[in-house]
Amino acid sequence: MNTWQDSLIELIRRTSAEIPDDVQRAILAALEREKKGTIAESAMKIIEHNIALAKQKSQPICQDTGSVLFYVDSPAGFDQISFTEAARNAVKLATQKGYLRQNSVDSLTGKNDGTNLGPGAPTIHFHQHKEAAVSVRLMLKGGGCENVGAQYSLPDETIKADRDMAGCRKAILDAVLQAQGKGCGPGVLGVCIGGDRATGYEFSKIQFLRTLDDRNPNPELDKLEQDILNTANELGIGPMGFGGKTTLLGVKICAANRVPASFFVSISYMCWAYRRHGARLDATGKIMDWLY
C-alpha cells in the first residue's frame, strides 16, 4: 500500500500549498476589479502574494489546514479498507512533514494528540463508478469559514422567506449578509436546496468539487447561481468585509428531493483559501493525472 500512501501524501501537500487554477483565476480577476488604492485592493494583493509564496515554499496557504475530506470514486471490487488505512497513514505523515497543522481535537477531552486522526478525522466518502481508475478528490475545509455556514428551514418568518425559489434566494442572500467578511472573504458558496439536515450540508459541500468557471446544467439553478453572485457583489461587503466589489468569487447550487414536511436550504461557505485538488490513480495507486 506504500504507493497509495505516497500518492495521497503528495495530494495532501499539493492541496495544502497550491490553490487550484480556477480559483487562482477568480482571485486575479477580483484583484483587477477592485478600485486602485483601496483597502479592498490591498487585501487582494496580499492574498495573491500569499498564494504565490505558499506555492514557492511548499508551505500551507493558511495555517488552519482545516477538516480533511476525501471524496473517492472507484470501480467495483475496490478495497476500501486498505485505502482507508493508507489515507490515515498519509494524513499522519503529512502532519509530521508540516503539510497539515496539528489540527484535530478530541471534542470530549479537548486533547490534541497531534496526529490529525480520530473519529471523523479524516472523513472519507466512497462512491462506485464504471471507470477502472480511482479518482481521489481532497478538500481542506477551514474552520473560520465553516462557522459562517447556515441552514434555513422554510418558511422562515424572520427573513420573510416562503417555500419557493424566491424564498431560497432570500435565505442564501441572508447567509451572505450574516457572514460579512468573517469567513475570510471573498468566498464561495456551496448550496443545497432540499434534502434533510445531514444530506443538505453534505451536498452543499460537494458543490465545492465543481470548478468555479463551470455552469450549472440545470437552467433554473444556473440562473439562481448567477443572480446570487451578482447580487452579493452589489452589497459592498468586499474582501475581508472591508467594503468593495468582490464579496463572492462563486456560487454553486444543487437540489435534492425533500419530504413534504421539510424544506431546508443549506449553505456552506468556503474562504478565499480554497483548498481542493484531485488525482486519478491506477490500480497500483500511482498518480496518472491531476483533476484540477
Sign of CA dihedral 213, 229, 48, 57: negative
Radius of gyration of the chain (CA): 19
Select 86 or 175, whichever has its Cβ closest to another protein. 175
The distance of closest approach from Cβ of residue 192 to another protein in the complex, given in angstroms and rounded to an integer, is: 20
CA 25 from chain centre, in angstroms, equals 16
Return the residue matching grid coordinates 471507470: 131
Instruction: Name which of another protein, ligand SF4, none residue 118 binds, using a CB cut-off of 5 to 8 Å depending on partner kind.
Output: none
Instruction: Name which of another protein, ligand SF4, none residue 101 binds, using a CB cut-off of 5 to 8 Å depending on partner kind.
Output: another protein
Select 65 or 216, whichever has its Cβ closest to ligand SF4. 65
CB count, 10 Å around CB of 266?
A: 28
Helix axes 2-17, 80-96, angle to 10 degrees: 50
Cell numbers representing residue 78 in the block:
475496490
DSSP at 231: H
The distance of closest approach from Cβ of residue 187 to ligand SF4 in the complex, given in angstroms and rounded to an integer, is: 8
Query: 3-class DSSP state for residue 24?
Result: helix
Helix axes 39-57, 2-17, angle to 10 degrees: 150
Select 98 or 144, whichever has its Cβ closest to ligand SF4. 144
Q: Is 161 exposed, middle or buried (0-12, 13-18, 19+ CB in 10 A)?
A: buried
Select 252 or 275, whichever has its Cβ closest to ligand SF4. 275
Enumerate binding residues for ligand SF4 (CB under 6 A). Answer: 62, 64, 66, 142-145, 183-184, 271, 273
Enumerate binding residues for another protein (CB under 8 A). Answer: 39, 42-43, 46-47, 49-50, 53-54, 57, 59-64, 98, 101, 142, 144, 147, 169-170, 173-174, 177, 180-182, 184, 231, 234-238, 240-243, 271-273
The distance of closest approach from Cβ of residue 213 to ligand SF4 in the complex, given in angstroms and rounded to an integer, is: 21
The distance of closest approach from Cβ of residue 245 to ligand SF4 in the complex, given in angstroms and rounded to an integer, is: 20
